Structure 1
Amino acid sequence: MSRIDDTREFVAVRIAVLTVSDSRGLEDDRSGQVLVDRLTAAGHQLADRRILPDERAEIADQLRRWIADPQVDVVLSTGGTGLTGRDVTVEAHRDVYEKEIDAFGTVFTMVSMQKIGTSAMQSRATGGVAGGTYLFALPGSPGACRDAWDEILVNQLDFRHRPCNFVEIMPRLDEHLRRK
């Protein structure tokens, strides 16, 4: 069963938060703020925070900048994961992924089903890895961001979490780039 191993020391990771919205600014970005509040309360560091419009190329470019930045370990984006024509965050994430974390979307849907029933199928939440950086695209609602953090990410981004977690394999995420 999943648990926190108190014999291990907590390892803070550096997390960038991206809100994708055509209409929000920092002052009314509730979803981004939920993520910032939760990650800092958990002991992690906010590496950067941005708001971008629903433009695939702009989103992918920002993701690439953070992937190239050694001061960013994880990127959490919120917004643009739905089904409408302007929802392009998932496509932008997939433009940069080296590997997709297929089960993240599945687990997120399972968590969402408990809260919003079959409406959970309208989200295309996704996760992946590129250049040794984890990337997660979350829906744009504060509730969905709380659910993703509280039910999934708080544990997977905690080195003490057992039986396994994302942090303990971070040093090996880009090993294919170092192979000869």
Structure 2
Amino acid sequence: MKKQPHPDVPGITVTCAIVTVSDTRTLETDKSGHLIQELLLGSRHIVGAYKIIPDEPAQIQAEIESFGQSVNVDVIIFNGGTGIAPRDTTYDAIEKLLEKSLPGFGELFRFLSYQEIGSRAIASRAVAGIYQNKLIFSLPGSSNAVRLGMEKLILPEITHLVSQMRK
């Protein structure tokens, strides 16, 4: 790992909400949602909410707006619905609400994905940004993509980004 230009403040715990966007997954079959939870808890963060919702733009935006009002959530991590199939609306719903975007997240995610899966990475519409002082990440629904995004991008930067928002 490269030296960070601005070291993280030690001991920051981040409270996260996990939202799986799927028309077919259940709490029992949601491997990606469980993986996000496991990785967050393993990094000593808190999972304040975990939901599965259908890939409906209005419902995705309602979840964002609801968490935006919560004082108990710092970060919302979505998974699923980031592709280009007709039912993949997560990116579109999230992108419309972002007050600030973090284009580097999607760019780096696709770069890292390209190294693993080749040119199919162009179909990923992973996105991140800020809405009402909440950090939002949206990952594809595959467990491999979730592990990549969490381990290589989100977990290494989550405390720094939340600290920046709190200034």
Q: TM class by shorter-chain length? A: over 0.9
Q: How does 1:162-177 map to 2 (within 5 A)?
A: 165-172=160-167
SS at match of 1:166: helix
What fraction of aligned residue pairs are identical, expressed as a percent? 33
Aligned to 1:156: 157
Aligned to 1:53: 54
Runs (4+) of structure 1 exceeding 2 A deviation are 1-8
Would the alpha carbon gap of residues 6 and 93 (structure 1) be closer, same or farther in structure 2, given more than 3 Å must change?
closer
| Bigger Cα displacement from structure 2, 90-99 vs 11-20 | 90-99
Q: 2 CA distance for matches of 1:115 and 1:68?
A: 37
Q: 1 CA distance for matches of 2:51 and 2:137?
A: 15
The gaps in structure 2 that reach 5 residues or longer are: none
Tell me if 1:77 matches 2:72.
no
Aligned to 1:123: 124
Would the alpha carbon gap of residues 115 and 68 (structure 1) be closer, same or farther in structure 2, given more than 3 Å must change?
same
| TM-score, scaled to structure 2 | 0.94
Q: How does 1:1-180 map to 2 (within 5 A)?
A: 1-3=2-4, 8-158=9-159, 165-172=160-167
Q: Following TM superposition, by how much is the alpha carbon of 1:168 offset from its aligned partner in structure 2, in angstroms? A: 2.2
SS at match of 1:64: helix
Q: Deviations over 1:106-161 (max 9, x none)?
A: 01111111111111111000001011000011000000000001000111013xxx
Q: 2 CA distance for matches of 1:51 and 1:8?
A: 32
Q: How many residues align?
A: 166
User: AA paired with 1:66?
Assistant: F
Q: 2 CA distance for matches of 1:80 and 1:44?
A: 25
User: AA paired with 1:24?
Assistant: R
Would the alpha carbon gap of residues 99 and 27 (structure 1) be closer, same or farther in structure 2, given more than 3 Å must change?
same
| TM-score, scaled to structure 1 | 0.87
Q: Is the 8 A contact 2:17 2:75 kept in 1?
A: yes
Q: Following TM superposition, by how much is the alpha carbon of 1:79 offset from its aligned partner in structure 2, in angstroms? A: 0.2
Instruction: Give the structure with higher Rg (CA).
Output: 1
